[in-house]
Structure 1
């Protein structure tokens, strides 16, 4: 298997979605280590393990050709969150995921980034289906999945998160580019 070089850069009116850089590690690790904010994503209490997750995302890009983009606020250049396609070992299938960092909630950033990442996954990368795995109590993610057109499909056991809900996104022929 040939490893891919790295992530493309995608743009929206307000955002730049790009591959993770060394200087993004602190923002991502701060999110992961925040028990309240990262609860529905997978809180990582120890800094070394948060660093390993960040490095794993870099490797995920090389292994799969996709992963989590860093969401950069176009106006300030500040990392605002992560969004992209995630499919580590034990995942049922490729997942469209999103989180925004502290101070960036309620601005539509997660929606804008996830919609753009999904468009890339379908139009440019060639995926034909995507899901979102959502912890049952994460009502904000369920609302965003619904806004993106995803529908609840089933409950399953996620070996990392426990009980999880699988939400199915509309396919490439059902979403506008």
Structure 2
């Protein structure tokens, strides 16, 4: 009688259950299995599991459902939102339109307009000038800044320009209307409240 303490390894039992053993090895294991009830029980469970897997008629879940389930457990990628310190709203501190016209200039004439805005450690000098029925918006960021971008947004009109190393910009001509301005430089976004361009 063989020593029952030397059980057949799980790998060998799996090979036997799947009929991947040579006849000689199968005979040697069969004699051990007749003496060892523990190995015989484990072999019977493996055979039952293999039969169950082979006879399984369940359908696979649709690919879109599997993908959706996997996505449920993925962390959502949220885009970093600019903090309050990075997104600043400019405050109007001067508007040349509110001044009385210079001597000899009629109040109805279209002249260049200057708007000064304060925002944090920066000031914004904005110039608006009429140009043959349209308007040219230019300006300069006063204070420490590097090059960046400026965007003028109106009803159906969006114009962009680069901010130079001297923090100056000139936008393409735009028609009369209400516009807002956004300047982005050095990780800071300055938003200028809506202003109107009209004769």
TM range (shorter): under 0.3
Higher helix share: 1
Superposition TM-score, scaled by structure 1 size: 0.25
Superposition TM-score, scaled by structure 2 size: 0.23
**Structure with more contact order per residue of length (Cα contacts < 8 Å, sep ≥ 6):** 1
Higher strand share: 2
